[in-house]
Amino acid sequence: MSLSSHGLVLVVADKAEAFHALLKLAMPYARRGGKRITLLHLEHSPDVGEAFTEPPKWLRKLAGKISEEGISVHIMAGHSPRPARTIRETVRQLKADFLILGWREDEPARGRKLGPVLTPLLSDPPCDLAVMRLRRSRGEFKQVLVPTAGGPNARLAIEVAYALAEGRDGEVSVLYVLHPGADLAQHRLAEETIAQSAGSLAGSPVLSPCITEARSPTEGILAEAGKGYDLILIGASREGVIARVLFGEIPLKVAREAEIPVVIVKQRPSPAMQIARRGWDRLFSLFPTLTEEEKIAAYREVRRGARPDVDFFVMMGLSAAIASMGLLLSSPAIIIGAMLVAPLMSAVIGLGLGVVQGDLRFLKLTITSVFKGMLLAIIVSLITAFVIPVRNPTSEIMARTQPTLLDLGVALASGIAGAYAICRKDVSTALPGVAIAAALIPPLATSGIGLALLDWKVTAGAMLLFLTNLVAIATGGGVVFLLLGFGPEARRKTRFRVFERSLVGLGVLLLTIFIILGFLSFNALKHQRLTLIAREVVTEELASSEGTTLEEVGVEEQRGGGLEVTITVRSSSPIGREEIERLRDRLSERLGRGVTLEFTRIPTIRVEP
């Protein structure tokens, strides 16, 4: 049969009973839109390669009945070891704009995995998609219930429902579920949402708004569905970005518990969303899959390390004391030793795991550990700074007061490496190196020393570095835990809420820190550029002066927009004021701003043997 160009509905099933059920949806939709129908009889053959075969006789008879209804129909048959890939390729070749699949009761219905065929197609639909939960029905779908909360798939659900009911004495009830005791404003919002979801179909006699109150959306939908409806047609919700990448929790619950057939529709995602989803899938495929035993072992290890017990506080106090002495003595080796002793890394990694699991109790435990450990480290370093008095900050202290985007990148990588090393015992020997890279204790010790010196710039800069490390390590660790298969339990709604809110909170914190560090990094690069130009000018001017060597060049911004340049040289001969003024003018010309010059000459005498 020839295929016209008005659009194509592709119906895929492996049994005659499934085709009969799916065609109750496909035929009215195709008839209203003037679309063609292609029936693909596809069997899963794990041990046989992909091949198209001769369609069975019953499929030909079924196609003949469809043709008698005035609908153009085409039939195909085959088998494939990878049905999802075959379906996706068929959609592409036929340029289908609507795909209809069946979901049998003997297929998985719990959690987020819906089997090897549905899962990949639902996560990244090749076109607009409808999946019918196959149950026994009383006949045609005339009385259709369409729940909506204003999501992007609700309009598609209403359009399909309208096609089922129009011209067949049918009715579509568009349902909005409110919480008990909703006020007038909430009822008006519900009416506006229903009208917005209906779009151009709003006001049609086929559509009727329906507003009800219930303790939960699922309860309200199921209660309304028991009032004589033939079908529930619901759009896939957008209740979460990662936690509900397939249908969303409410549609799955409705499909699982309803006594009448349920169809869940999902629009084809935008190109940007498709790219993001495929990127996530490819990244996910690079990571190994943990067994349940490995997940439990990793969870126990993180929880044990994050517990704020006596050992935790003893090791935190010792590491803070060691780090403080290393900073005051400007000894990198001592500082590295303090990082190896500190137990704070486990608590911060645990923060990421708590977010991913949606475990509020564990989150509170890790936050308590981090806060108490942070407070103890600052107090110990403050006391150490009083015991070992130092008038001016050392170079090691100052190195931890000016964080940049590079520090953020290092912390993210440390969180990723730390979480992976905890979950994969084969690389657990890398944990000491991760602890050194993470550098959580030195910024806290620097903050305490800054308080002792009453240097608020040191304290604030070091605390910003610590917060950068804290948020980035928790985020990086959380991403790895997600990729390794951790996540909130599908049937525990409160954990989904904790997961989503915590994820948003971490994202906001990370974005805020990124903006702050971006601003600081820009200023640092700008200052570095000015210093390099100033050094270049001074070197050129002093090239003709014998016995003169440049020691130091410093550039500082002034409030009025000018620059203050400090230059220190060693010279065996005097340098006149005219030369210094000429140098100032050259600096002002090259830097493009007014320059106040402070010139210091250190007299030197060279005595040769």
- Do 279 and 291 fall within a single domain? no
- At 132 the three-state DSSP class reads strand
- Do 317 and 402 fall within a single domain? yes
- Do 108 and 152 fall within a single domain? no
- Do 35 and 53 fall within a single domain? yes
* CATH (domain of 99): 3.40.50.620
What does the pLDDT read at residue 511?
94
What does the pLDDT read at residue 430?
52
Q: What is the mean pLDDT of the chain?
A: 84
Q: How many domains does the chain have?
A: 4
Cα angle: 422, vertex 428, 432; to 5 degrees: 100
Q: Which domain holds residue 559?
A: 527-603
- Do 55 and 88 fall within a single domain? yes
Is residue 504 domain-resident?
A: no
Query: Any idea which residue has 């006949």 for tokens?
Result: 139
- 322-342 pLDDT, tens per residue? 999 999 988 888 988 888 888
Across residues 103-111, what is the average pLDDT? Answer: 53
Residue 104: name the closest of 59, 136, 79 by CA. 136
- The strand pairing partners of 550, in sequence order, are 569
- Do 164 and 313 fall within a single domain? no
What does the pLDDT read at residue 327?
92
Give the integer Cα–Cα distance in Å for 369 and 357: 18
Across residues 221-227, what is the average pLDDT? Answer: 90
End-to-end CA distance of the chain: 107
Q: Is the pTM for the entire model greater than 0.85? A: no
**Contact indicator for 459, 447 with CB cutoff of 8 Å:** yes
Give the integer Cα–Cα distance in Å for 421 and 434: 9
Give the integer Cα–Cα distance in Å for 369 and 356: 18
Element housing 145 (H / E): strand 143-147
- 371-408 pLDDT, tens per residue? 999 999 999 999 999 888 777 888 899 988 889 999 99
C-beta atoms surrounding 509 within 10 Å? 17
- 448-502 pLDDT, tens per residue? 999 998 889 999 999 999 999 999 999 999 988 888 878 776 556 678 788 888 8
What does the pLDDT read at residue 237?
63
The answer on pLDDT for 105 being more than 80 is no
DSSP code, position 591: H
- 51-78 pLDDT, tens per residue? 888 889 999 999 999 999 889 999 999 8
Is residue 465 domain-resident?
A: yes
Q: Which of 1-10, 395-404, 590-599 has the lowest mean pLDDT?
A: 1-10
Is residue 157 domain-resident?
A: yes
Long-range contacts of residues 384-387, Cβ cutoff 8 Å, at least 24 apart: 384/320, 384/321, 384/324, 384/325, 384/328, 384/445, 384/448, 384/449, 385/324, 385/328, 385/448, 385/449, 385/451, 385/452, 385/453, 386/452
DSSP per-residue letters across 517-577: HHHHHHHHHHHHHHHHHHHHHHHHHHTTSTTEEEEEEEEEE-TTS-EEEEEEEEESS---H
- Do 163 and 310 fall within a single domain? no
Give the integer Cα–Cα distance in Å for 216 and 120: 29
- Ordered alpha helix ranges (H), 170-216: 184-198
- 275-297 pLDDT, tens per residue? 776 676 666 666 666 777 888 88
Give the integer Cα–Cα distance in Å for 503 and 567: 50
Please compute, for residue 42, the number of CA atoms within 13 A of its CA located in the half-sphere on the CB side.
Answer: 24
- Do 278 and 292 fall within a single domain? no
Across residues 31-55, what is the average pLDDT? Answer: 86
Q: Which of 424-428, 438-442, 497-501 has the lowest mean pLDDT?
A: 424-428
- Do 305 and 445 fall within a single domain? yes
DSSP code, position 38: E
Is residue 255 domain-resident?
A: no
Across residues 259-282, what is the average pLDDT? Answer: 78
Q: At what angle do helices 360-387 and 310-328 cross, to 10 degrees?
A: 40
Give the integer Cα–Cα distance in Å for 104 and 98: 20
Tokens of 546: 């014998």
Binned at pLDDT 50, 70 and 90, residue 2 comes out as very low
Binned at pLDDT 50, 70 and 90, residue 108 comes out as very low
